[in-house]
Chain A
């Protein structure tokens, strides 16, 4: 298994280079270093000298991908792409365009992201599985049909509606929790209740429906009939027989996102004022802060790759027949 993991990690290198190149291309198709300078310098009294000074200070005074004036291999290394990219692979994310240290910001902001994403994820999965198993238990009854209707309805509603509706009802009208904000030291749960609740409820429709499909596929298998014939209770059949056998597709969808929980959620963090990495990314895009966008895409890619490796490893745990080599 170790050899497999090492090989996968090596595969990650070209993927990361590709992702980085793509981010570069996409960003500089719509922005030039001059645009970035004007955006940072305040748009008034901006002189060519001022733009040049900003570019020099922030390392954007080089050509993007190829430097014809540089000799030999320097033509490729003395470029914005190379100078900005090579440090990423040493996990040196540098400074944002406004001068803040990105590593410090990321390490500070990942915890609020995790504080929202982790409970939403864990409670969400648990609720979805419970609801799905319940519906499976009443398969082909009136309750099942109603459940499908409710799930589809829940899936059809925009995530924004849940957020704004939750804020309007729970925080504004009923005044039960703060409408937004976050304090790590003082009663953080007070600020997390509503976003977690919204996240869980918004995910029930799609999540429970997905798990229902998986469980129903297993529910018609021979081993289930055998277990039932042997007198096992429905609960035991669901939790002891069906659930473990449906784990592979569940793990495929679940484990891969675990590392990405650090990255937070763009919408939920922005609306609830959670100072996490999701809102960090969104702010950076709005502010044309390429250094942050690049670093966040890079971190996101790494976490996704780690998630995929973890998924593969989890298969061996869920299904002893599988071996990684």
Chain B
């Protein structure tokens, strides 16, 4: 290589070194500066050019695991299932207390009581052996368009394949060019119940419902013994408790009296499943491409699924075959004034499309909501990140919003969930359990010491209500005011409940045999053990609990463990105090009172029973058995009150609270009233897209100076380097010596 070539090469290499980082920066910056087009640049939602009114929402923090109504038993899954399917019963959107109304039925189920011979008898007749529910369907029910209903010219199903290769070209449901539909028949509801009983589906309801629906267990055992190489038409196997009278009438017979069964008819488990849909999804090779009923639901509800990418987004669109359904014209007191009846009488659903995007991070979710890219702050769980908590403060007289929220004209929908969280005593524990007066006093002393109100204010920002009762608000049996107060822990003072004093707690403790928190007989300090799930409690909470019990001289030791170990302790009764929670399946006091029903104790039933306190009171159990079969009314209310009194007297739980959540709505979303039980409320939601677009543009003007600043900084860092390099590269000995001499001369 000649000197000239070397120089050229060096210069070229030099240029490449200098220009590459700049090019990198430009590569990163230019798209933002140029190719993004019109602001906003940070819009995470693809621009869709159509006239469909779209609701923008999220699934957080994980996508649904099951969308098959026979398998699903989770709230975040109901968010989808209940928009796509229509069970026989539904809940009134606005009325409180919660009111059950016919959904797919023309009228409420007709109930007939039968004796052992199947002859009708009166409800009060002790000979009642069965209850028959007669379900009459509406005439205008139709399934959504779906390839499972597509027929060829001969009237045979179009998409039934003999082998994997024939159907291999269909990767997703939208790939099928032809769809069909048909009316919903009573048999579709019967088929759904048969699917619950099919052991192959492993439905979470199989064990529970088998106790009630006549013939379900025998059906399940019979099906278990059949070969399952291909699709099995469950219609071919009879179930004693199911009778399809005609295309629109179905009889379901259950054992004995179980008035709460009607609530189960509002749950997804009883949604109609067309046998041809089940058959369609049993095509060879379909399951290997996730073409299953679990991922592509087919229903008759207001929406249908058009895209299911659980890794990214789920899209629902209006079901064109949905029945005539209208926004209610009456609601609860205050609804009219709150504007909740503004759409009264309008045809449902009020939107055409709903997009649910996967959102795992709380910060991202909150940011997108505040940027206007999500219409609401949450769907089935309110956002509980630190960022969200800073957005407002809950005070006794209401919620105070931050200025940012107020500027965005965000509205709030508080939601007291029909559920509770509690720390329960194990009533079989030798220290805190038992039913003697001393043991009751010990537990009551601990209850008084645990300042629930302060705990909620400190750790839940006031988002919870201290429970005086094991039945939450909105459900019969929960009383307001002094009548609803727990007199063992509170006094009624100045028109409100006030927790009894710590002195009184100490006195109770002394009467229980622990003066100053020490065992009177041994002198040992009283130490209680609390089992908690590791992720459900932090050190600050533990320190707080430590402190409140230290006030009465009681020591606390926490035993954190993961969910599985905690569950194991509950199953074996190897716990003293444990944390737990319960969310209602239906708005009936029975759904909460059974949490203390003796046979529900895991140690009694040898199962995951709900009575984790192992509370055993013959009086309570007798009242429960009476109450559970009574229709709503004063007689039932009286029994419920007696049971609540036993719960308070025996001080079964250390503390309990009703969780309260706050959902935020952007100003362009309407009909935001929360329903604690039903999730089939998307059809009532309305959005003003023009307003949303305007606000998104207003709130998301990009700030570009950091880009220029970064570029400037980069160049300013690079330039001295280049200059230094060039100087070094071009330096000659003579030049270096002359500079050296010059500097010495000046210095000298």
Does A8 sit within 8 A of B, measured CB to CB? no
Contacts of A190 in B (CB 8 A): 31, 36, 41
Instruction: Tell whether, in the assembled complex, residue A236 and residue B9 are in contact, meaning their CB atoms are under 8 Å apart.
Output: yes
Contacts of A181 in B (CB 8 A): 44, 357, 364
Looking at the assembled complex, report how far the CB atom of A143 sits from the nearest CB atom of chain B, in whole angstroms: 7
Contacts of A207 in B (CB 8 A): none
Known: A127-B24, A275-B312. A98 touches B42 (CB 8 A): no
Contacts of B24 in A (CB 8 A): 123, 126-127
Contacts of A127 in B (CB 8 A): 21, 24
Contact with B along A92-105 (1 / 0, CB 8 A): 00010011110111
Does B703 sit within 8 A of A, measured CB to CB? yes
Does B564 sit within 8 A of A, measured CB to CB? yes
Does B173 sit within 8 A of A, measured CB to CB? no
Instruction: Tell whether, in the assembled complex, residue A270 and residue B360 are in contact, meaning their CB atoms are under 8 Å apart.
Output: yes
CB contact between A273 and one of B3, B358, B700 (< 8 Å): that residue: B358
CB contact between B206 and one of A49, A180, A280 (< 8 Å): that residue: A49
B288's nearest neighbour on chain A, judged by CB, is: A101
Does B74 sit within 8 A of A, measured CB to CB? yes
Interface residue stretch chosen among B12-20, B376-384, B409-417, B479-487: B12-20
Contact with A along B383-413 (1 / 0, CB 8 A): 0000000000000000000000000000000
Instruction: Tell whether, in the assembled complex, residue A171 and residue B728 are in contact, meaning their CB atoms are under 8 Å apart.
Output: no
Q: Complex Cα distance A197/B706, Å?
A: 15
Instruction: Tell whether, in the assembled complex, residue A236 and residue B41 are in contact, meaning their CB atoms are under 8 Å apart.
Output: no
Looking at the assembled complex, report how far the CB atom of A233 sits from the nearest CB atom of chain B, in whole angstroms: 4
Q: Complex Cα distance A187/B45, Å?
A: 11
Known: A171-B42, A175-B41, A234-B729. A47 touches B607 (CB 8 A): yes
CB contact between A179 and one of B21, B28, B44 (< 8 Å): that residue: B44
Does B437 sit within 8 A of A, measured CB to CB? no
Contacts of B205 in A (CB 8 A): 45
Instruction: Tell whether, in the assembled complex, residue A57 and residue B202 are in contact, meaning their CB atoms are under 8 Å apart.
Output: yes
Instruction: Tell whether, in the assembled complex, residue A178 and residue B358 are in contact, meaning their CB atoms are under 8 Å apart.
Output: no
Contacts of A239 in B (CB 8 A): 13, 17
Does A41 sit within 8 A of B, measured CB to CB? yes
Contacts of A249 in B (CB 8 A): none
Does A16 sit within 8 A of B, measured CB to CB? no
Q: Complex Cα distance A280/B62, Å?
A: 10
Q: Complex Cα distance A283/B606, Å?
A: 31
Contacts of A167 in B (CB 8 A): 363-364, 367
CB contact between B364 and one of A130, A169, A170, A180 (< 8 Å): that residue: A180
Instruction: Tell whether, in the assembled complex, residue A172 and residue B367 are in contact, meaning their CB atoms are under 8 Å apart.
Output: yes
Contacts of B289 in A (CB 8 A): 101, 104
Does A173 sit within 8 A of B, measured CB to CB? yes
CB contact between A47 and one of B17, B208, B360, B706 (< 8 Å): that residue: B208
Contacts of A186 in B (CB 8 A): 46-47
Contacts of A176 in B (CB 8 A): 32, 41-42, 702-704, 706-707
Contact with A along B28-67 (1 / 0, CB 8 A): 1001100010001111101100000000000000100110
Instruction: Tell whether, in the assembled complex, residue A54 and residue B202 are in contact, meaning their CB atoms are under 8 Å apart.
Output: yes
Instruction: Tell whether, in the assembled complex, residue B368 and residue A31 are in contact, meaning their CB atoms are under 8 Å apart.
Output: no
Looking at the assembled complex, report how far the CB atom of B223 sits from the nearest CB atom of chain A, in whole angstroms: 11
Does A43 sit within 8 A of B, measured CB to CB? yes
Instruction: Tell whether, in the assembled complex, residue A98 and residue B290 are in contact, meaning their CB atoms are under 8 Å apart.
Output: no
Does B200 sit within 8 A of A, measured CB to CB? yes
Contact with A along B549-565 (1 / 0, CB 8 A): 00000000000001110
B72's nearest neighbour on chain A, judged by CB, is: A42
> How many residues of chain A have a CB within 8 Å of chain B?
86
Known: A44-B73, A174-B702, A179-B368. A50 touches B202 (CB 8 A): yes
CB contact between A30 and one of B360, B562, B707, B728 (< 8 Å): that residue: B562
Contacts of A187 in B (CB 8 A): 46
Instruction: Tell whether, in the assembled complex, residue B199 and residue A189 are in contact, meaning their CB atoms are under 8 Å apart.
Output: no
Known: A179-B363, A234-B728. A46 touches B700 (CB 8 A): no
Instruction: Tell whether, in the assembled complex, residue B721 and residue A179 are in contact, meaning their CB atoms are under 8 Å apart.
Output: no
Does B539 sit within 8 A of A, measured CB to CB? no
Contacts of B368 in A (CB 8 A): 178-180
The A295-318 residues at the B interface (CB cut-off 8 A) are none
Q: Complex Cα distance A168/B387, Å?
A: 12
Known: A47-B208, A98-B65. A53 touches B6 (CB 8 A): no
Does B10 sit within 8 A of A, measured CB to CB? yes
Does B311 sit within 8 A of A, measured CB to CB? yes
Instruction: Tell whether, in the assembled complex, residue B290 and residue A180 are in contact, meaning their CB atoms are under 8 Å apart.
Output: no
Looking at the assembled complex, report how far the CB atom of A37 sits from the nearest CB atom of chain B, in whole angstroms: 8
Does A137 sit within 8 A of B, measured CB to CB? yes
Known: A48-B207, A50-B206, A101-B289. A175 touches B28 (CB 8 A): no
CB contact between A57 and one of B21, B200, B564 (< 8 Å): that residue: B200
The B129-161 residues at the A interface (CB cut-off 8 A) are none
Q: Complex Cα distance A178/B36, Å?
A: 12
Contact with A along B327-370 (1 / 0, CB 8 A): 00000000000000000000000000000011111011001100
Q: Complex Cα distance A239/B20, Å?
A: 14
Q: Complex Cα distance A40/B364, Å?
A: 28
Q: Complex Cα distance A75/B6, Å?
A: 75
Does A120 sit within 8 A of B, measured CB to CB? no
Instruction: Tell whether, in the assembled complex, residue A53 and residue B199 are in contact, meaning their CB atoms are under 8 Å apart.
Output: yes
Looking at the assembled complex, report how far the CB atom of A57 sits from the nearest CB atom of chain B, in whole angstroms: 4
Does B701 sit within 8 A of A, measured CB to CB? yes
Contacts of A157 in B (CB 8 A): none
Looking at the assembled complex, report how far the CB atom of A131 sits from the nearest CB atom of chain B, in whole angstroms: 9
Does A177 sit within 8 A of B, measured CB to CB? yes
Contacts of A39 in B (CB 8 A): 563
Does B218 sit within 8 A of A, measured CB to CB? no
B289's nearest neighbour on chain A, judged by CB, is: A104
Q: Complex Cα distance A138/B312, Å?
A: 47
Instruction: Tell whether, in the assembled complex, residue A173 and residue B564 are in contact, meaning their CB atoms are under 8 Å apart.
Output: no
Looking at the assembled complex, report how far the CB atom of B469 sits from the nearest CB atom of chain A, in whole angstroms: 21
Looking at the assembled complex, report how far the CB atom of A14 sits from the nearest CB atom of chain B, in whole angstroms: 30
Instruction: Tell whether, in the assembled complex, residue B364 and residue A236 are in contact, meaning their CB atoms are under 8 Å apart.
Output: no
Does A191 sit within 8 A of B, measured CB to CB? yes
Looking at the assembled complex, report how far the CB atom of B584 sits from the nearest CB atom of chain A, in whole angstroms: 11
Most buried by A among B14, B17, B65, B701: B65
Contact with A along B688-725 (1 / 0, CB 8 A): 00000000000011111011000000000000010011
Known: A104-B289, A123-B24, A270-B361. A180 touches B44 (CB 8 A): yes
Known: A176-B41, A183-B46, A287-B65. A164 touches B363 (CB 8 A): yes
Does B295 sit within 8 A of A, measured CB to CB? yes
Does A294 sit within 8 A of B, measured CB to CB? no
Q: Give the interface of A toward B (CB within 8 A).
A: 30-32, 35, 38-50, 53-54, 56-58, 95, 98-101, 103-105, 108-109, 112, 123, 126-127, 130, 133-134, 137-138, 143, 164, 167-183, 185-187, 189-191, 193, 196-197, 231-236, 239, 270-273, 275, 279-280, 283, 286-287
Add 11 more A-B contacts to A176-B42, A273-B357 (CB < 8 A).
A35-B564, A42-B73, A44-B610, A50-B206, A98-B66, A134-B721, A164-B363, A167-B364, A168-B363, A176-B41, A179-B42
Cβ contacts A to B, 27 pairs, < 8 Å: A42-B74, A46-B207, A50-B204, A56-B202, A95-B287, A98-B66, A101-B288, A105-B290, A134-B721, A137-B725, A138-B724, A167-B363, A167-B367, A174-B703, A174-B704, A175-B700, A176-B41, A178-B44, A180-B360, A180-B361, A180-B364, A180-B368, A231-B6, A233-B10, A236-B6, A271-B360, A287-B62
Q: Give the interface of B toward A (CB within 8 A).
A: 3, 6, 9-10, 13-14, 17, 20-21, 24, 28, 31-32, 36, 40-44, 46-47, 62, 65-66, 71, 73-74, 199-208, 210, 287-290, 292, 294-295, 309-312, 357-361, 363-364, 367-368, 371, 562-564, 567, 585, 606-608, 610, 700-704, 706-707, 721, 724-725, 728-729
